[in-house]
Chains A and B, each alone.
Chain A
Amino acid sequence: MTAETAVHAAHEVAHGAADAAQHGHGPETPAQYIVHHLGHLTDGMFNYDTFIFSLLAGLVVVWVLGLAARNATVGVPGRFQALIEILVEWVEDQSKQIVHGDRSFIAPLALTVFLWVVFMNTLDLLPLDMLPMFGQAAGIEYLRVVPTADLNCTLGMALGVLTLMLYYSFKIKGAGGFMHELFCAPFGSHPLLWPANLLLNIIEFVAKTVSLGMRLFGNMYAGELIFMLIALLGATATWWGFALHVLTGSAWAIFHILIVLLQAFIFMMLTLVYIGQAHEHH
């Protein structure tokens, strides 16, 4: 199931079951179960669960990297330091190949983005109902744990990348150079081509931003949804349902390790590529 179809299916389910999804406990229909799991801890304007869990994941990243930096030794590294060193060197390597220019901010940014997305995605591997159960015990009706399965989070990050693309475009090329590029690339500098150039460039920036946010969101949302569907097997409270749940759930969880890292890697690489493109003159 691709990300897009998964998103689509989820929305259909959500719409179909919207009437059935009532607050309250007791036996739920499968549709209610899924709709319940897709509900945010929100006041309609602000998804507190996404904010809190992304903030926690970010704090964990800061804490881990800070710990590594504080305890860094020039001698033989321990396992923890070696792991961080490998990560840092790897990100530094990637950024060096992609971004040609001052990388004193961009390389650490890429490392932070990668680890942050990894930690946020990893929340998907926790038992689906565990944290919502604690939440319900604390009186919180709706709780979605995985921030990257919320479009607000991923598009927010993508907007951050867009801001950096624009910032570096201005910084590297200057306002005049950037304007020239907006109006004269890719078709040519003839005044009649200016509108077409500008339009295409705007579309390009929007497409980059939206695809960056949607890709991560779609993958994580689809993964979360499949976990929910698998959870329905266990919810049948039969032996075959239990066995199928454990079997498919394990397979999907193990496969999800790959997705967690891969999507974080893709997000980081595209961040670097987009910022790198802002460094290049056309």
Chain B
Amino acid sequence: MNLNATLVAQFVVFFVLAWFTMTFVWPPLMRALDERARKIADGLAAADRGQQALKDAEVRFAAIEAEARQNAQAILAETEARAATYLEQQRKAAEAEGVRLVEQAKVEIAQEVQRARDALRSEVAALAVAGARQILEREIDPAQHAELLSRLEASL
């Protein structure tokens, strides 16, 4: 019975146990733990990516919305400007038309006046000739007095 001998053997057994644990128990355990940590890390990363994607989408959405709003504003402004221009053009055209019509009417009136004056003049000439004929009691030969008559007509 030797306590020292068995104590040595006990320590050898202890180190065999430690070696066994290190070789066969520890690695699978660590693998399982690392696997779990990896899965959690992946999950968290995926969640982060999802959040980031959402944020990016929101930013993109905001940009698109702003652009659309701007475009709409621009289109509105352009339309307004075009409408104003069109109105202006129409107003000018109408004014010009009005002026033209007035001018035309003036011309027509002038022509009418001229025509009436001419008719009046020839009538006055004819009246003068008829008056003169009655005064002279004889026929006035238009051919003979053509020159006289046209001078009279022109002087009226």
Binding site for B on A (CB under 8 A): 27-30, 32-33, 75-79, 82-83, 85-86, 125-130, 133, 230-237, 241-242, 245-246, 249-250, 253-254, 257
How far is it, in angstroms, between the C-alpha of A75 and the C-alpha of B41 when the chains are bound?
8
Interface string of B2-15 (1 = CB under 8 A from A): 11111111111110
Task: Collect the chain A residues with CB atoms within 8 Å of residue B4's CB.
Answer: 237
Number of A-B contacts (CB under 8 A): 108
Known A232-B6, A246-B9; judge A82-B37 contact (CB<8 A). Answer: yes
- Closest chain-A Cβ to B139's Cβ sits at a distance in Å of 137
Which residues of B have CB within 8 Å of A242? 5, 8-9, 12
If over half of A's interface residues share one DSSP class (helix, strand or loop), that class is named, otherwise mixed; here it is: helix
Task: Say yes or no for B49: interface residue by CB 8 A criterion.
Answer: no
Contacts of A27 in B (CB 8 A): 1-2
Q: At the interface, yes or no: B44 with Cβ under 8 Å from chain A?
A: yes
Whether B1 pairs with A249 at a CB distance below 8 angstroms is: no
Q: A76-B44, A82-B37, A246-B16 are in contact. Are A236 and B5 (CB under 8 A)?
A: yes
Question: B36 and A77: CB pair below 8 A?
Answer: yes
Contact of B5 among A30, A127, A234 (CB under 8 A): A234
Please, which residues of chain A bring their CB within 8 A of the CB of B20? 250, 253-254
By DSSP majority rule, is chain B's interface helix, strand, loop, or mixed?
helix
Q: Which residues of B contact A234 (CB under 8 A)?
A: 5-10
| B84 at interface by CB-CB < 8 Å | no
Given contacts A76-B37, A77-B36, contact A254 B17 (CB under 8 A): yes
Within 8 Å CB of B44, what residues of A? Answer: 75-76
Chain B, residue nearest A36 (CB) = B3
A40 to chain B, nearest CB (A): 19
A130 in contact with B34 given A75-B44, A125-B17, A250-B17 (CB within 8 Å):
no
Nearest 8 interchain pairs by C-beta: A234-B9, A234-B6, A249-B13, A127-B10, A237-B5, A235-B6, A245-B9, A237-B2
Select which of B3, B16, B30, B37 is within 8 A of A235 by beta carbon.
B3
Cβ-closest chain A residue relative to B12: A246
A230, B14: Cα distance in complex, Å? 13
Q: Are B30 and A79 in contact (CB under 8 A)?
A: yes
Q: How far is the CA of A25 from the CA of B109 in the complex (A)?
A: 157
**Number of residues on chain B facing chain A (CB within 8 A):** 29
Residues of A within 8 A of B7 (CB): 127, 129-130, 133, 234
Chain B positions 42 through 73: 1 when the CB is less than 8 Å from some CB of chain A, otherwise 0: 00100000000000000000000000000000
Q: List 5 A-B contacts (CB under 8 A).
A: A83-B29, A129-B10, A234-B6, A235-B1, A235-B6
Question: What A residues does B10 contact at CB under 8 A?
Answer: 127-130, 231, 234, 245, 249
Query: What is the bound-complex CA distance between A273 and B4, given in angstroms?
Result: 46
Question: Is A29 in contact with B33, judged by CB distance below 8 angstroms?
Answer: no
- Complex CA gap A40/B36 in Å reads 44
Which residues of A sit under 8 angstroms from B110, Cβ to Cβ?
Answer: none
Bound CA span A241–B4, Å: 13
Q: Which residue of A lies closest to B34 (CB)?
A: A79
Interface residues of B in 79-99 (CB under 8 A from A): none
Of chain B, the residue at the smallest CB distance from A242 is: B9
Q: Known contacts A77-B40, A128-B10, A249-B9; is A82 also within 8 Å of B33 by CB? A: yes
Measured between beta carbons, the chain A residues less than 8 angstroms from B36 are 77, 82, 85-86
Select one of B2, B21, B34 contacting A236, CB under 8 A. Answer: B2
In the docked arrangement, what's the CA distance between A215 and B33, Å?
Answer: 32
Q: Out of B3, B12, B30, which one reaches A129, CB within 8 Å?
A: B3
- Whether A126 pairs with B41 at a CB distance below 8 angstroms is no
